[in-house]
Structure 1
Amino acid sequence: MKILKSSEDYLETILVLHQQHGYVRSIDIANELSFSKASVSVAMKNLRENGYISMDSNGYITLEDKGLEIAQNVLEKHRLLTAALEKIGVSHEVATQDACLMEHVISDETFNALKNLKL
């Protein structure tokens, strides 16, 4: 099943915020992405209903196995693409923005070939 780019971005953000702070709430995601709380709430409901995340009674979000797998994959792509772009002279800011776009469309074959370059 193909997951939407926006869902991948939410899952990646949840993973990064959890790595940084040890916990994630919807408000943290809204602040990080500069989205409204209502938009994030709708997205979290969809991710929860599709089994990508769970949320406890205090509003803390946890990635379920399939959500974690997607988030780790997207984050790995993001980091490698950012590094590759910086290596060829792209500024960090532009490399980060471009990597965020590319991480969703790059084929597994191309990504694996880039990984093998040991950038």
Structure 2
Amino acid sequence: MAITEAVENYLETILILSQKQPDVHAIDICSYLGYSRPTVSIILKKMKDEGLVTVDGDNHIRLTDAGRSVAEHIYDRHTVLTDFFILLGVNRDVAAEDACKVEHDISDETFALLKAHYRKLAGEAENKK
């Protein structure tokens, strides 16, 4: 299975949920993303088959090293883009929504330069306080 935008969203969601609660279940993903249980189950099975997640006997979903790598990559993009947009003056909700759209399509080169510029601007803003 290719790492599609949908798979990236699922992996990012599992990462976010695992930071907030000890165990992640399919129903948690359904609630977070607003998807039906059958839809989530199909993608989870594919991600499990591809070695991106594991599901234990108690149906706890965990990221494998490969899945965590993808999830952290996307989550880093999401948080940096959101914070950058907020720094530019965009409303927090709009910034997060726009970051979700951009995080999957921006090139590594552009993101690295944007991240470096964001850090510089954020540091300057912090120094002004």
The offset of 1:114, in angstroms, is 1.4
Two-structure CA RMSD over aligned residues (Å): 1.1
In the alignment, what sits opposite 1:103? 103
SS in 2 for 1:85: helix
The offset of 1:89, in angstroms, is 1.1
* 2:88 aligned with 1:88: yes
> Partner amino acid for 1:57?
G
Output the TM-score relative to the length of structure 1: 0.96
Output the TM-score relative to the length of structure 2: 0.89
Unaligned runs of 5+ in 2: 123-129
How far, CA to CA, are the matches of 2:55 and 2:3 in structure 1? 20
In the alignment, what sits opposite 1:11? 11
In the alignment, what sits opposite 1:69? 69
Aligned length: 119
How far, CA to CA, are the matches of 1:24 and 1:100 in structure 2? 21
How far, CA to CA, are the matches of 2:66 and 2:5 in structure 1? 15
In the alignment, what sits opposite 1:49? 49
The percent of aligned pairs where both chains have the same amino acid is 39
Unaligned runs of 5+ in 1: none
In the alignment, what sits opposite 1:33? 33
Structure 1 stretches of at least 4 aligned residues deviating more than 2 Å after TM superposition:
none
How far, CA to CA, are the matches of 2:22 and 2:70 in structure 1? 19
Q: Looking at CA atoms only, which structure, 1 or 2, has the larger radius of gyration? A: 2
